[in-house]
Amino acid sequence: MKRKLRRQGFVFPGRVYGNLLTGKMSREYVLALLDGVPRGFSELYFHPSVSRSQKDGQRSRELAILMDPGVRSKIERLGIILSTYFDLEGD
């Protein structure tokens, strides 16, 4: 299936993390996850938001995780390069 999608011009990361934890991502999970992310393109599945409504509480927490200085520091220490889907086009 992946080969067929690539032939059609679709781009996607090799691994996706957090998809099964939608609404339950935590800082601790992300920090532990970063230690095992393999080389290559991987996606951390988040839906961050700046909304302050109670309904969007998890999305606000996910934004806080992404902006957390400890998370950012660990990303830098591990040499992980943050990118977008545009960066996948050359993969």
Count, in order, helices (H) and strands (E) of the chain. 4, 2
* Band (2; pLDDT cuts 50, 70, 90): confident
Dist. CA 66–CA 69, nearest whole Å? 9
Distance (Å, rounded) from C-alpha 47 to C-alpha 60? 9
Q: Using one digit for the tens of pLDDT, what is the confidence trace for 43-86? A: 888 888 776 665 667 788 888 999 999 999 999 999 999 888 78
Query: Is 75 exposed, middle or buried (CB count within 10 Å of its CB: 0-12, 13-18, 19+)?
Result: middle
Spatial contact of 32 and 26, defined as CB atoms under 8 Å apart: no
**pLDDT of residue 23 exceeding 80:** no
